[in-house]
Structure 1
Amino acid sequence: MLIRNACLCLAGSLLALGALAASVNPYADHNGKLPPADYTGPLFRLSYNYPAGLPAPYMPWRAAIGNGAITTATAPAYTQALKDSIARDMATLLTDYEDWNAAQRGRYNDPWLGAQREPVHGMLVGIEKVDNTLFPKSGLSKPFTTYVLTYYNRTAAQTLGKIWSGNPNAPVLDGGATQYAEGSITVKLAFTTADPATWPAMEGALAWPMMMTANATTGHNDRPKLDKAYLMQVDIVVKDTRSAPQTGWVFTTLVYDKDTRPGSAGVWDQMVPLGAQWGNDPQANSALNPGAALQETWVNPNAPVYALETLGWGGRLSGPNDHALNDISVAGEGGRVLTRNAANSSCLSCHGAAQWNAANPKQGMASFFMPLAAPGEGAAANAGAPYMNSPAPGSVEWLRWFQNRAGNVPMDTGSIPGDYDLALTFRVLPAWHEAMTGKEHALRKLDAAGKAQK
């Protein structure tokens, strides 16, 4: 009788879950809060007809470095070749939006984020408030909000199809479904609400209209309002185990440079390399030896000043949109030591935490994407406010985030590895879980706590 009652309860729960899922469209374009009538431009359309069975693409970035492993000496050529490979599509997306058709160009988006997207370009809030104290050398006078948009190429979109195309209400995460094929590329655009009057570094930057729910520069929040944001950063990330055999990925970052003249590709020519990263340099303990040379990060010394102000731990790659400087709290003998704007992350260390605990989807990621104390208690238990409770920089616990792992190896035993796709494990799966349960996900609460520190 107990078993029968339990089965009936489970059946009832599944029916209720199915009804809830049926009421939510995983492929919704945006939240429906349209711009005012005087906006006559195109609107965002989600690209989700994911392909399958494609051959491996030609990879000119490999050829640019002689088909060997990337090094700090060859990283500039690699970064330039990767940038050139997407130049035509990016020029159209950025400056000829009326002619942009993502599906025709083989560019795809994640599902389940429609409630978070604004309708003009499909942008998501990246960081709600970036403090102006992070940029003392470049004249930022007010905080700003960042808005981000990600596109996957055809090769990468095959993985999205494996996860979501069978039944978007029941993603497939096991059997290697989350692993990306060689030549998979994601492109992430980041815009800032800081205009040129607020931040001289943005003088002449491309401005996009969007329906903003948050604007730390003007102080506007919640009610959507049509306003402009300025192109600040573009990340191009590629799965390339030949060039980066230890992690399988190369992360490159471009930033806007007002002092670079636009050429035939327009503003795309003004997006200059900040650098590249293909490993976490685990041999370099940058707390014990702050000047330790990095062998798996290249930073362009000629990048604009503002972009060099927010590099990650020990100078590892991190752009102004990447949240690598945070207020941290470390336990000490005389009490907690509080440090403002401490470098505690980097591109690869952050994405290396991409994983999902299927046995505990309410928690999702067993470790947060930057060092937090006592990760064994679960990421949601570790949010410190207004400072992040952190392990001591350079400690064994801290260094868990700065290891080189293949994308099919999770950071925490028992989790499904996300192959460095933090968007999947930190944004998309929590949004799916919220749609299934009708409850805010623990990672969203943790992220809000982290953002509140600034």
Structure 2
Amino acid sequence: MFRSVRSTVGLTLLGLGTVAHAQTAAPVRPPKVPPIQGPMSRPTVARAAEKAVAATKETTSGFAYRNATTPPAPGWTGPVFQLSHDYPQKDPGTCPANVCTWLSNKKVTFDQTPGEKTQTQWSPEWAQYMQQLLDYVREGQDLQLDNQVGWQVKVNGNTRWFHMPWMAYDTKTGREFVHGLTNERTAQISDFLGEQLVDEGLNKLSLSATKETAQGYETWAFGVYNEWGGYAIGRSWNTDGTPRIDKNHNGGPQPAGLPFPEGTLVAKLLFTTATPKDVPYLEGSPVWQADRHQTKGTLFLCERQVQEVRLIQLDVAVVDKSSPTRWVFGTFAYNGKLKGKTVWDRLEPVGVQWGNDPWSSPAAAKADSLPIVQSVLNTKIGTYQHFGCNNRLAGPVDNKLSSCMACHANGYTPQAGVASPSGSNTIPPIFGFPGQCTTNSVDNANYFTNNQFPMAYAGGQYPNLMNMDTSLQMWVAFLQYGQFNQFNQPEACVNPSGT
């Protein structure tokens, strides 16, 4: 689903109330003042220190709001991504019913407790709900999502879509310069076509995103927030690139712009390096350019070059107070077999999720497990779908041992300005852990739980963390700011041994 980028994982993608602003708990450390040549007066030394601090703030802002990890090469004539970060300064207020049409849809309900004997079934009402989300996302966009046109942040003359800062700091997985895509999970052929093809001689690749090989298919994606989500982002980050923290939000510090307000909609488009030759139903999918990783033999390298990617999945998430988690996630899959004049006509709904069903396996023992009631799946979709853990929702290139909601809801970070280096085990392992989905365990019970901002992590073993209100892009932003603040450089991208 909306899985985001971190150096330890071949990446990922989302964003509410308003609280008083406070300074970040860990301010940026100014660089050392250069050695003074000859005697200087105290005022002169003070001015030099002030200039050094000012230079640091400029650098912080530059890293936070830069467009891509590396700029286009000289002579590049294709599209160039521009970060949309002129966030709304005024509270947008209640979303009008004719804009957020999904909020007034009374034909679907979001159950909070179990009680059904079978899983909630897909119906025309759910299809209509998903169409309302799709209609909002597609408004003002190119009908074929042409590469040269790209994504339009303005709709009807006003800026509708905003991006998260700090997504271009990590040189391995951060934003590329053509369309602002970030590197996410590497999929395997069985994700697209099913396990039976693996038995027919195709390479079975590790599910882990850290096991990247050329036989796998990289995922590159970008996420955008509407004005309600953009307002929350702007309340969480200063224009100088430092975070805004409410130091005592329900007992502990949290991002000042969270929780995201009702009306927030987050959309994420996911592109794959697979082609129609690999996955036949990708025929006719929009082909975009992306400055993505080169390969050498069976290995992905740190070095990038502009290559093709194709649309495979669209994720949408909205804040809805009637949901037990305050969030509703929906996923679409591209199906080139469908008839339709536009690419939007060939996006099929995979399903909807509004909770983690903590009373169902593997959060509960199989003997006590109750039917899933907080995910509804389109089991008659025209393409193969692996879905998520025990029939929870997950999209085509998502981890089938997880779910959209579980992955996002467990996004926690250390306090602002504190890093979480690879292997440090200081935050929950949201992208996978031993026994994930396969065994009834405390880890699975903690992972597949229902929580809301600003609740602490369910297990209690990760104290004093900040809750990102399901936004894994906000999660990335705080982790990358912490890396910058503590180490003044991103984690290094190291090519695999043998290259």
TM-score (normalised: structure 1): 0.77
Residue 406 (structure 1) aligns with: 452
In structure 1, how many angstroms separate the alpha carbons of the residues matched to 2:275 and 2:392?
28
Residue 295 (structure 1) aligns with: 373
Give, in angstroms, the shift of residue 201 of structure 1: 2.7
Q: Secondary structure at the match of 1:119?
A: coil
Residue 481 (structure 2) aligns with: 432
In structure 2, how many angstroms separate the alpha carbons of the residues matched to 1:12 and 1:292?
49
CA pair 261-86 structure 1, distance change in 2 beyond 3 A: same
The answer on whether the counterparts of 1:146 and 1:191 sit within 8 Å (CA) in structure 2 is yes
One-letter code aligned to 1:56? T
In structure 2, how many angstroms separate the alpha carbons of the residues matched to 1:289 and 1:214?
48
| Residues 9-24 of structure 1 mapped to structure 2, 5 A cutoff | 13-14=29-30, 16=32, 18=53, 20=56, 22-24=58-60
Give, in angstroms, the shift of residue 210 of structure 1: 1.5
Residue 89 (structure 1) aligns with: 140
The answer on whether the counterparts of 1:29 and 1:122 sit within 8 Å (CA) in structure 2 is yes
- The structure in which a higher percent of residues are helix is 1
Structure 1 stretches lacking a partner, 5+ long: 1-9, 325-342, 373-387
Give, in angstroms, the shift of residue 437 of structure 1: 2.6
Give, in angstroms, the shift of residue 392 of structure 1: 6.8
Residue 210 (structure 2) aligns with: none
| Residues 130-209 of structure 1 mapped to structure 2, 5 A cutoff | 130-137=187-194, 142-165=215-238, 167-172=240-245, 174=247, 175=249, 176-209=256-289
Give, in angstroms, the shift of residue 289 of structure 1: 5.5
Q: Highest relative contact order (Cα 8 Å, sep 6+), 1 or 2?
A: 2
In structure 1, how many angstroms separate the alpha carbons of the residues matched to 2:437 and 2:381?
31
Residue 83 (structure 2) aligns with: 46
The answer on whether the counterparts of 2:410 and 2:470 sit within 8 Å (CA) in structure 1 is yes
CA pair 259-216 structure 1, distance change in 2 beyond 3 A: farther
Give, in angstroms, the shift of residue 305 of structure 1: 3.3
Q: Secondary structure at the match of 1:280?
A: coil
In structure 2, how many angstroms separate the alpha carbons of the residues matched to 1:227 and 1:218?
17
The answer on whether the counterparts of 2:333 and 2:348 sit within 8 Å (CA) in structure 1 is yes
Q: Secondary structure at the match of 1:94?
A: coil
The higher radius of gyration belongs to 2
In the alignment, structure 1 residue 367 sits paired with structure 2 residue 418: no
In structure 1, how many angstroms separate the alpha carbons of the residues matched to 2:382 and 2:70?
38
Give, in angstroms, the shift of residue 432 of structure 1: 1.3
In the alignment, structure 1 residue 313 sits paired with structure 2 residue 389: yes
The answer on whether the counterparts of 1:62 and 1:68 sit within 8 Å (CA) in structure 2 is no
In structure 2, how many angstroms separate the alpha carbons of the residues matched to 1:229 and 1:303?
23
The answer on whether the counterparts of 2:316 and 2:331 sit within 8 Å (CA) in structure 1 is yes
Aligned length in residues: 395
Residue 440 (structure 2) aligns with: 394
Q: Secondary structure at the match of 1:423?
A: helix
Residue 306 (structure 2) aligns with: 226
Give, in angstroms, the shift of residue 414 of structure 1: 2.6
The answer on whether the counterparts of 1:190 and 1:232 sit within 8 Å (CA) in structure 2 is yes
In structure 1, how many angstroms separate the alpha carbons of the residues matched to 2:133 and 2:144?
17
TM-score (normalised: structure 2): 0.70
CA pair 57-221 structure 1, distance change in 2 beyond 3 A: same
Mean CA deviation greater in 355-364 or 158-167: 355-364
Residue 164 (structure 2) aligns with: 110
Residue 275 (structure 1) aligns with: 351
Give, in angstroms, the shift of residue 178 of structure 1: 2.2
Residue 123 (structure 1) aligns with: 181
Residue 60 (structure 1) aligns with: 101
One-letter code aligned to 1:433? G
The answer on whether the counterparts of 1:35 and 1:211 sit within 8 Å (CA) in structure 2 is no
Give, in angstroms, the shift of residue 137 of structure 1: 3.1
Mean CA deviation greater in 168-177 or 347-356: 168-177
Structure 2 stretches lacking a partner, 5+ long: 1-25, 33-51, 112-119, 203-214, 250-255
